């Protein structure tokens, strides 16, 4: 995505000499819990994951965000620090707004409105994502995940089983059972030796997840 296409661009165009653009590879950590790296990250391209890790080492997916969104230790803005790690789920690049730059920009009403709208929307999406897991079956959720991430090439591919299970909040066994059922019914075809699937009957998958899609993508009347 070109910088000029980002919503933040009008507020940074005169500050680009003080706002580094950083490129990272998939799997690289961008911020670690407990590390003093004040400032914000604004995603230009790719996807980042935000995770919280319990004292027992259990990972909880907090957010999965893409281009044109803020991330970072945003909870500090409200004096409510959540210890989270942020890493690149895919190759991605982002703008780093160092604390002094970000604090100066927050004095601009237009920028502060953009910032709070963006983060409030992320919170809403996270909450909605949690609710959908209570309303619909795992098969419906997996079907929606596949359909919403499959393009015109009809290829569905995930980075790792672990990340997919975390995102869907499902066990490996549960995921494999559903995928195998879709394979048996001819909805999918798996490429041998990879995590790539070819969608062979999208119409049936869309039927399965129609209620989930309506819930996740419905607009206000």
**What pLDDT does residue 217 have?**
82
Residue 17: predicted pLDDT: 93
pLDDT computed for residue 78 by the predictor: 52
Q: Give the pLDDT of residue 76.
A: 53
pLDDT at 77: 52
DSSP 37: -
**pLDDT, position 145:** 93
CA distance 137 to 148: 17
Q: Is the pTM of this model over 0.95?
A: no
Which position has the token pair 């895919």?
Answer: 90
> How far is residue 50's CA from residue 33's CA, in Å, rounded to a whole number?
10
Q: Which residues of the chain have pLDDT under 50?
A: 80, 220-221
Task: Please give the pLDDT value at position 80.
Answer: 44
């Amino acid at each position: 995505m070109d910088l000029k296409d980002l919503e933040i661009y009008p507020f940074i165009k005169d500050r680009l000499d003080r706002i580094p653009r950083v490129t990272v590879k998939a799997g690289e950590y961008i911020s670690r819990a407990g590390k003093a790296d004040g400032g914000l990250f604004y995603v230009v391209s790719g996807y980042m994951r935000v995770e919280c890790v319990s004292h027992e080492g259990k990972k909880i997916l907090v957010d999965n965000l893409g281009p044109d969104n803020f991330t970072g230790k945003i909870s500090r803005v409200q004096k409510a620090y959540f210890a989270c790690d942020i890493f690149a789920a895919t190759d991605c690049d982002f703008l780093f707004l160092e604390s002094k730059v970000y604090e100066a920009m927050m004095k601009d009403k237009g920028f502060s409105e953009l910032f709070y709208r963006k983060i409030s929307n992320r919170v809403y999406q996270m909450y909605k994502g949690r609710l959908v897991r209570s309303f619909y079956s795992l098969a419906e959720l997996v079907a929606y995940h596949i359909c919403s991430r499959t393009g015109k090439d009809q290829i569905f591919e995930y980075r790792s089983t672990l990340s997919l299970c975390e995102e869907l909040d499902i066990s490996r066994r549960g995921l494999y059972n559903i995928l195998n059922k879709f394979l048996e019914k001819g909805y999918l075809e798996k490429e041998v030796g990879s995590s790539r699937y070819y969608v062979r009957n999208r119409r049936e998958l869309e039927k399965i997840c129609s209620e989930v899609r309506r819930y996740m993508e419905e607009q206000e009347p």
